[in-house]
Chains A and B, each alone.
Chain A
Amino acid sequence: MKIYIPKDAAALSLGADETAEALAAAVPEAEIVRNGSYGLFWLEPMVEIEKDGRRIAFGSVMPEDVPSLIESGFGAAHPLYLGKTADIPALKMQNRLTFARCGVIDPLSLEDYTAYGGFDGLKKALEMPPQKIVDEVKESGLRGRGGAAFPTGIKWQTVLDCAADQKYIVCNADEGDSGTFADRMIMEGDPFTVIEGMIIAGLAVGATMGYIYLRSEYPHARDTLRAAIKTAYESGYLGDNIQGSGKSFDLELRMGAGSYICGEETALLESLEGKRGMIRYKPPLPAIKGLFGKPTVVNNVISLATIPVILEKGAAHHAAFGEGKSRGTLTVQLAGNVKYPGLYELAFGQPLRDLIYEIGGGTATGRPFRAVQCGGPLGPFLSERQLDLAVTYEDFAEQSAMVGHGGVVVFDDTVDMAQMARFSMEFGAEESCGKCTPCRIGTVRGYETIDKIIRGENRAANKALLEELCDTLIHGSLCAHGELIPYPVLSALREFPEDFGLDRQAA
């Protein structure tokens, strides 16, 4: 018998190690596999039993549940029984392209990886001329999943078209946005897919060196990536002469040091160069003058992890999901105050309301919904009246909302939106790189002014001042950090003026 218990950091945070130990002690003859998580976090630690090639799941298994599980013969009569894993409704309704293997396989088993289609994309790419690979990515409609949603194929074309003695692939694994954990999950649950995506990117643009820039808050992902990179070298997928093809690609893991702004691509490049994470002026684009002044592809983890399946199954397969100019799938990360929090890989176009109420089951506390923040700490807050918009880049942009990296953070009616607005400015100040004045000083003046409004000092005048300050930040900042901080603040003011002691009319 095989028993699967996730080693994903979130599952560990709920006691997966203790459950694994209890099971190992109680069923010594079983083979215990530490898989990644499927992302159904209200069911973690989720234990699966493989019998006769079928995987049966049990949800929220704590060490004290182990004796009764054994007594029931891991049967359907047990209260934690969920049935066949693949039939769990929250999994069945998903369109898992990028996350197809996550949760299913042992993350560090190359054998598992290749058995589930791993490196099939690379095999195809090794036979293709670079332009053909770039064309495939263009046709897939993949857009940068880090948040900016820039077409990945066009970025790659720019780097391919640059003549240079050295080019680089940089994987942005500085997943700093609150409410997002998809990068972490795939790095811990299926690290080879990130590595494969980077190798293919290297073949496509002519880069022979890659860096993964990982945030320091992810020690579990760090350990998994280190082990996976080592295995990939040992098995001839990294280094010289990849699988006898004559092509080479080297890959190195670099750690960040707790700076949110280093998720901004030019600050990330500065940090990789060993400097302060200060943003750079653009142009020149990193695609033309990036790391150490050389043409560089900077892609988010999920963008790169989606490349293998695009090559494996073809651009058309990927483009068949989604709608309009939002093709493929979005890894929605439902978090905060929601009953069924987790990772849901879905085709673009789902209504936001369904995500929160149908899929998420409403708030975890059972209290009324009040606000949702999509797209990380720089995304605007949306209220009940805005929930009917569909999750696509275009529909969100029309409402000045942000899909970003797919994070959806839900709040119930106990939230104080004036405090949330203050927090946005405080966070903005804490994480500003300091290069441009609007962001460096404006964010500090921002929370000071919000404090005055909260205290009731000249509310109307200070509100006008705050709006003017936000306008300066939006139009005068050098990068997206300063440009976007005002959005949560202004949306809180507009949708929830009563929390600031302002009346709705005046707002």
Chain B
Amino acid sequence: MRILACFMPATSGRARVAGFDVLEHSLEVRRRIGYLPENIPLYGDMTVVDYLGFVAEVKGVGRAERRRRVGEVLERCLIEEVRGKLLAQLSKGYRQRVGLAQALIGDPEVLILDEPTIGLDPRQIVEIRSLIKSLAGQRTIILSTHILPEVSMVCEGVVIINHGRIVAQGTPEKLTGELSPVARTQVRVAGPAEAVAAALGRVPGVLRVEQATEADGVGVFVVESPRDQDVRAEVARLVAEQGWGLLELRPMGMSLEDIFIRVVAGEEPAAGAPGEAG
């Protein structure tokens, strides 16, 4: 992140942002990015408006436009009510939003956000995420995070990097698809377990049926089928025809956590092992 923002040099390899090398055309790159570092460093003795005014000036926003632009980001990042406060007095959530505001000033083509939701309370996280989502579409947003559900929520493309190497890349759906060729569906049925299992196995398209648990005449089964074939309708019809009770029918998507662990560890994760997001 710091390399992309031209703050640190790369120990090896090259980085380009919007077609400009970060080392050779650092100034051109810096004209096109808005950067939100992980820990947002702010001048504690400045007020929010003064600070944003300064950033606008440094980013080359003309005098005439400055007021409007600052007003715009204040509104956009929901920090109007703290505009006159000193930066040192702001809570973590507000600091984060001021950080986002300073990154947004000057309408950069590329936004680089390093862990934008870390250290926030759940309500603030939701606010920041929706703010980030609202920014998408007009510009490229590069977001680094260790919170994987966040990725599935806000990102369109994912790159997993381990020890400086790209280990997986693509849309979240593509990653899930590539890594596990079969789709798994969890079915909970009230009925004789063995008969149900046998019946499920006969549904066209089903590759394998696995009985997970059984209690009080209710069985939980996991049905595997090719990813491009949806067997849920067939399963539901079958269960209904047999007069059993269909209690639950749920596709078991492979979460990004699973993918992450798998590609980083380079092997299948042990079932039920807690994932360590390094």
Q: Answer whether A and B are interacting partners.
A: no
